[in-house]
Amino acid sequence: MNNDKKYDYIIAGMGCAGLSLAIQLKRSSLKFSKVLLIDKDLKNKNDRTWCFWTKEKNNWFDKIVYNRWDKFLFKSSGFEKEIELHPYSYLMIKGIDFYDFCLKELKTDSRFEIITDEIQEINTIDSQAVLKTKNHFLSCDYLFNSAVRTLNKKTNHINYVQHFKGWLLETEIDSFNVDCPVFMDFTVEQHNDCRFIYIIPFSKTKALVEYTGFSAEKLSDEFYDGALKNYIEKKLNIASYKIKETEKGEIPMVESDFTNPFGNRVINIGTAGGSSKPSTGYTFYFIQKNTKNIVAQLENGTKEIITPKRAKRFLLYDKILLHVLDKKEIEAKQVFTTLFQKNKVTNLLAFLNEESSFAQDVAIMNSVSKKHFIKATIKKLTK
Ligand SMILES: Cc1cc2nc3c(=O)[nH]c(=O)nc-3n(C[C@H](O)[C@H](O)[C@H](O)COP(=O)(O)OP(=O)(O)OC[C@H]3O[C@@H](n4cnc5c(N)ncnc54)[C@H](O)[C@@H]3O)c2cc1C
């Protein structure tokens, strides 16, 4: 077993959070001599497409934004609208562009070392973080973990997943509106659940079409495939197409907490650190906020890093929405349709990015069915 090389920091997991943190550390004013990044995977596949909205300019990832839109389409039975997003933009980054860009930049800096290995254990021992693999026992001052997720499931909690399968389609004739992604199309059969289609156009003849659900259980491949085929052929009226790539995944939408049983020298980041928003599954933007916060703490010379925490009121809103979805007394489709129909969308986007004022939150909550939301709120506050 190779031992004892001592690092300032170890970044365990080189996905979205690990690489975002590494790039921001590299570009910071911090003085450090050695950072280790470790992942079991080479990160050389296009395994996901990230979309998110922001109004921030000059982000470190600007060069790899594949596309940005200033509007998107929301569609439901009896309501359809192309919604202007200004001052927000809806951005898209391809997974492979993200991994390539980050790894290329990190490899130009000799302070960063990368190893491919499977992590077996992480912990804090004698004020040092330690990491064990089959071949290594490593230590450092702080370890940032996105590889090991520990969800402390409670029986009275609603723990959902956002689950989806999508096809990157290529068509013979022009079939997609390049200027306008489809954020949510609820005109699909709901199956007493929350189901919608999401479309990211790459060109007039190429788009990622995804069937998405919010629920406790994901669906079978046969179901996703049938639903996608049906939507593409019957709703989009596309008779001839090729499936160039498939994207499948799930994102936790959980009321329970991701805990940290690894001691105070391990800081959880990414989904493991609670960056996946429970009511939407959107994660990329929160990862950016949280990793930026960690780098700022280090730059300010903090003695003990504090894991960035979400404001309590947003945690409560997410829990309430999960309970409303789970109770099924009102259709999920109806909840989302009302939110988009009755609110200024920029307020809604600020709310979902956890950037809204309390007054904006109240206006948004007033727009939805009070009966169902008050019931869920009382339930949450009294438990
Ligand atoms: C297909 C897909 C599409 C998504 N699209 C969006 C989107 O459009 N917008 C959005 O905001 N969010 C999206 N998400 C959610 C979220 O942004 C991503 O899951 C994001 O990658 C989470 O970042 P992370 O760093 O926490 O985890 P990951 O990116 O999954 O990184 C964790 C890393 O840890 C490594 N690892 C795990 N176990 C070990 C081990 N034992 N040893 C060594 N390495 C290990 C993995 O190989 C991986 O590289 C999507 C998720 C998926 C799966």
Residues 134 and 24 in one domain: yes
Interhelix angle for 332-342 vs 345-352, to 10°?
120
Residue 171 in contact with residue 241, Cβ under 8 Å?
yes
Rounded CA gap, 53 and 349, in Å? 8
Residues 50 and 164 in one domain: no
Helix, coil or strand: residue 336: helix
Residues 177 and 207 in one domain: yes
The pLDDT tens digits along the chain (383 residues) read 555 668 999 999 999 999 999 999 999 999 999 999 999 999 999 999 999 999 999 999 999 999 999 999 999 999 999 999 999 999 999 999 999 999 999 999 999 999 999 999 999 999 999 999 998 999 999 999 999 999 999 988 999 999 999 999 999 999 999 999 999 999 999 999 999 999 999 999 999 999 999 999 999 999 999 999 999 999 999 999 999 999 999 999 999 999 999 999 999 999 999 999 999 999 999 999 999 999 999 999 998 999 998 999 999 999 999 999 999 989 999 999 999 999 999 999 999 999 999 999 999 988 987 776 776 676 666 66
Residues 120 and 55 in one domain: yes
- Determine the residue of 23, 42, 49, 50 to mutate for testing ligand 1's pocket, defined as the one with the most ligand atoms within 8 A of the Cβ atom: 50
Cis peptide before 87 (omega within 30 of 0): yes
Greatest Cα pair distance in the chain: 64
Ligand 1 pocket check for 52: Cβ under 6 Å: yes
Rounded CA gap, 354 and 324, in Å? 19
Residues 350 and 246 in one domain: no
Q: Examine residue 6 and state whether it is found in any structural domain, yes or no.
A: yes
Residue 248 has φ and ψ, to the nearest 5°, of -135, 145
Residue 354 in contact with residue 310, Cβ under 8 Å?
yes
Rounded CA gap, 271 and 290, in Å? 11
pLDDT at 1: 53
pLDDT at 67: 97
pLDDT at 379: 67
Residue 48 in contact with residue 284, Cβ under 8 Å?
no
Question: Closest Cα partner for 120 from 110, 108, 133, 130?
Answer: 133
Question: Closest Cα partner for 120 from 143, 142, 140, 137?
Answer: 137
**Residues spanned by the domain of 167:** 159-253
Question: Closest Cα partner for 89 from 66, 106, 112?
Answer: 66
pLDDT at 28: 97
Ligand 1 pocket check for 22: Cβ under 6 Å: no
Residues 261 and 129 in one domain: yes
Name the pairing type of β-strands 182-185 and 257-258.
unpaired
List Cα–Cα distances, 15 to 42, 144, 250, 316, in angstroms. Answer: 10, 12, 15, 28
Instruction: From 299, 329, 355, give the residue that closes a domain.
Output: 299
CA–centroid distance, residue 17 to ligand 1 (Å): 8
Domain count across the chain: 3
Q: Examine residue 307 and state whether it is found in any structural domain, yes or no.
A: no
Q: How far apart are the first and last CA of the chain?
A: 49
Rounded CA gap, 350 and 337, in Å? 17
Instruction: Count other C-beta atoms under 10 Å from residue 62's C-beta.
Output: 11
Ligand 1 pocket check for 51: Cβ under 6 Å: yes
How wide is the angle at C-alpha 45 spanned by C-alphas 44 and 49, nearest 5°?
125
Ligand 1 pocket check for 251: Cβ under 6 Å: yes
Rounded CA gap, 43 and 120, in Å? 19
- Determine the residue of 145, 284, 287 to mutate for testing ligand 1's pocket, defined as the one with the most ligand atoms within 8 A of the Cβ atom: 284
Rounded CA gap, 257 and 276, in Å? 11
Give me 314's structure tokens.
């947003």
Q: Examine residue 329 and state whether it is found in any structural domain, yes or no.
A: yes
- Run of H or E including 103: helix 95-107
Residue 245 in contact with residue 168, Cβ under 8 Å?
yes
Ligand 1 pocket check for 209: Cβ under 6 Å: no
Half-sphere exposure of 11 (CA within 13 A, CB side): 29
CA–centroid distance, residue 48 to ligand 1 (Å): 9
Give me 169's structure tokens.
């389609």
Residues 49 and 186 in one domain: no
For ligand 1, atom 3, name the residue with the nearest CA: 48
Residues 52 and 118 in one domain: yes
Q: Examine residue 27 and state whether it is found in any structural domain, yes or no.
A: yes
Question: Closest Cα partner for 159 from 219, 212, 213, 217?
Answer: 217
Residues 324 and 341 in one domain: yes
Q: Examine residue 286 and state whether it is found in any structural domain, yes or no.
A: yes
pLDDT at 6: 86
Residues 241 and 377 in one domain: no
pLDDT at 370: 72
Three-state SS letters, 337-372: HHHHHHCCHHHHHHHHCCCCCHHHHHHHHHHCCHHH
Ligand 1 atom closest to Cα of 118? 42
Residues 28 and 140 in one domain: yes
Q: Examine residue 42 and state whether it is found in any structural domain, yes or no.
A: yes
Rounded CA gap, 315 and 309, in Å? 10
CATH of the domain at 131: 3.50.50.60
Ligand 1 pocket check for 114: Cβ under 6 Å: no
CA–centroid distance, residue 341 to ligand 1 (Å): 32
Q: Examine residue 86 and state whether it is found in any structural domain, yes or no.
A: no
pLDDT at 369: 73
CATH of the domain at 238: 3.30.9.10
Ligand 1 atom closest to Cα of 48? 1
Q: What is the pTM of this model?
A: 0.95
CA–centroid distance, residue 164 to ligand 1 (Å): 14
Residues 273 and 344 in one domain: no
List Cα–Cα distances, 188 to 77, 198, 322, in angstroms. Answer: 9, 11, 21
Percent helix, strand and coil across the chain, each to the nearest 5: 30, 35, 35
